[in-house]
Structure 1
Amino acid sequence: MWRYQVLDISEQHFRQLRMLIRLEQAEAYIIARTARPWPPEIALHPRQHTVLIKRDAIN
C-alpha cells in the first residue's frame, strides 16, 4: 500500500488510477481532514433530487 499527497498526483496519473480501480486491479481511498463536510453533495443532473455519496467517518 502506498500513500500520496493529492497535490503530487497529476491529472493523467489520477485518470490511470481510476481506470485501474474500474478494472479491479487497484484499490484507493481518500482521507480528508477538514472541519467542513466533504465532498459537498452536489447533484449531477438538474432533476436529481437526492445526492448520496458513500463515505465513512474515520475517528
Structure 2
Amino acid sequence: MTRTESKRAMLHELGAVPAGVLALDISDGQITSISSIVNPDKLTHLGPVADFRSLPRSAR
C-alpha cells in the first residue's frame, strides 16, 4: 500500500503487469470513499498495463 496526499492506494498486478488501482480516501482515520480504477487509459502513467477486457470472463 502506498500513500498519496489523503489517499492510500494498492496496485493490483497480473503477473508483473499493473492491472488496476484500489484507492481509499481517508479522513480523521475513517475510510470515506473507495475507488477502483481498471480502465487502461487512466493507468497509462504506470507504463504498460493489463487489460481486463482481454481476460476470459472466468478469470475476472
Q: TM-score, normalized by length of structure 1?
A: 0.23
Structure of higher RCO (CA pairs closer than 8 Å, 6+ residues apart)? 2
Q: Tell me which structure has the larger Cα radius of gyration.
A: 1
